[in-house]
Structures are given as C-alpha cells and as structure tokens.
Amino acid sequence: MFLDIRRTLWLAVLGIFFIAPSQVTLAGEGLRVVTTTKTFASLVEAVGGNHVKVDYVAPPNQNVHFIQPRPSDILRLSKADLFVHAGLDLELWRYPLAEASGRPEFLPGGERELGLSQGIHLLEVPSETLSRSQGDIHIYGNPHYWLNPENGRVMARTIFDKLVQITPEYEPDFRANLNQFLEKLDSKIAAWKRDVQDLAGVTVVAYHNSWSYLAQFGGFEIAGFVEPKPGIPPTPRHVERLLGIMQEKGVKLILKETYFEDRTPKKLAQKTGAHILTMAHGVGNMKGVEDYVSIFDYNFSHFKKAMAEIQGGTR
Ligand SMILES: [Zn+2]
C-alpha cells in the first residue's frame, strides 16, 4: 500500500519533467549506460572498458530500495543506450524513472533494459505469490544477489551478451575485458574461500535481509533481522523477540548497512554483548570499496577481524 502510493506520487512528480524520446546510439561516442547502482556501474565498466560511459542513479550510501531519482537522472536516462538494473523488486523506483525518461525500451521487456538477475540462482523465492499490501519488498525472492561473488561471473556474462548484441563490432574488446575480469574474480574467489573457512557455522543477526548471498558463500548463518520484514522499521515487540533469539543462540555479531540507524543494534548489543559490524553493501559504500572485488575484500577481512575480537573477548 505504502509503496503503491509512493509510486503514484512519483509518477505525478516525474510527469512534470517528462522528456521527449531521443535518438539512441550516437556513432563514435561509445555506449551511454545508466545503471541503478554503482556496483552494477562498476561491472559494466569492467566489461565495456573504454567503449562505455556509465552513470548510476542510487547514491551508494542510501537504501537502494527507497531512492528518489532526480530530474538529472531522468535527463541522463533519456539520452542513454542501455539501462541496467537488478530486476526483481530491488529498485521499485526504476519503473517511474523509465516512464519519465520517455523511452519505452527501458520499461520491462524493452530491448534496451537489462535485468541482471537472469541466470542467477535466487534465494528465498516465496512458494506462493505475495502481495505488497503487507509492505513486503522481497516478493520475488531475495534481490541482493550480487553479494555472492560467484554471482559476479553470471552478471558479467549477462552484461557481455547485451553489449555485444548492441555493438557487435566491439566484441573482441568486450571478450578480452570479460576474460580479464573473470580471471581476477576467480583467483579472488579461491582466496576468499580460504578466508571464510573460519566463518562456517557462525550465527549472526542482520538489520535488513541483505546478506543471504554472502552467507551462502561464507557458510555463516543469519538467525534473525532487526526489521520485522524487509523495508519495515523495527517495533519494540519485534526487538524483544529478536533479543530472545540472540540470547538463546548466543549470537555475538550484528551485521548492518551504512544507511540504517544504529540505536536498535546498539540496544541489542548492550543486552547481549554482541559486536556491531557495518558491512559494505556495494561499490562506493565504504572507503576503499571502489570495485566489485573490493566489496568482498572489505567484508570478509572485517568479518574475520570481528570474530577474532569476539573470540579474544575484546570489544
Ligand atoms: Zn532488500
């Protein structure tokens, strides 16, 4: 209900800035790509190299579920050759944004929109159709799939296929870039697999349900969330219930994103002795997290450090 209202309001606001359709793919300038997040921008740059100019919409330190695109984003998208997003319901704001750009090819099923969820093995896909009337924002399964580095391979190949489809003349360059990216990612994945051996079986709680794919790779368990449902702020009753779970399971680590309040995690930490670990949710989200692989370098090194402190009894 809340999101439906939000979307309707957005359509009304964005309508003021409605942009007329424009010509696409100017020769000699390369492809102009707009992505929803800086993480996807980084992946498109890795594969597209100097044949792409990439801009992103969501400021990296804001909650990607609730972004308000600016008129400048609409203008940029109206002139773009390709619109890349997560698909699913990570960015519900992308529909009014695409509509306001005046470019039907960026709407669902359009030939110049690319959802990166294709080919990804999704987690937590509901067995029955959910409605948004309860405020739920993960109704097609968990949309934070870029946080398993194995999915980086799939996303890079999806981007490669689309770039080749639009500009087949650059295929050799795109292929060389793709291979270079995959080689680096594969060697990093091997190193991270050694890193995460210590995390297997560790139980944590998290603020939002963002970390299932990282847990899938890292082998740790998430026992509960500060949010009662994805996108719904915590209530005192829910926090009490979560406290019970943490005490029962001996949870000593709370994962959170940069953009959530820390009052509730601090309250939980005070009562359980748990540590709070602010994690990198995507590229640009933390100092030093400037490309796809550094998301995992950051998260696994800080996770390991926090576990060492917990096991060493320091806070
Ligand atoms: Zn989410």
Burial level of 214, CB count in 10 A (0-12/13-18/19+)? buried
Structural tokens at position 264: 């509730």
Stretch among 7-11, 23-27, 30-34, 149-153 having the lowest mean pLDDT? 23-27
Q: Which two tokens stand for residue 32?
A: 């102009």
CA of 72 to the centre of ligand 1 (A): 25
pLDDT in tens, 80-103: 999 999 999 999 999 999 999 999
Cα of 279 vs centre of ligand 1, distance in Å, is 14
> 109: CA distance to ligand 1 center in Å?
23
For the cut 80, the answer to whether the pLDDT of residue 130 exceeds it is no
User: What is the SS3 assignment for 197-243?
Assistant: HHHCCCEEEECCCCCHHHHHHHCCEEEEECCCECCECCCHHHHHHHH
Rg (CA), the chain: 20
Q: Which helix (H) or strand (E) holds 162?
A: helix 150-166
The model's pTM: 0.90
Q: Mean pLDDT throughout 28-35?
A: 88
Q: Ligand 1 (ion): which residues have CB within 5 A?
A: 230
- The CA 139 to ligand 1 mean position distance, Å, reads 10
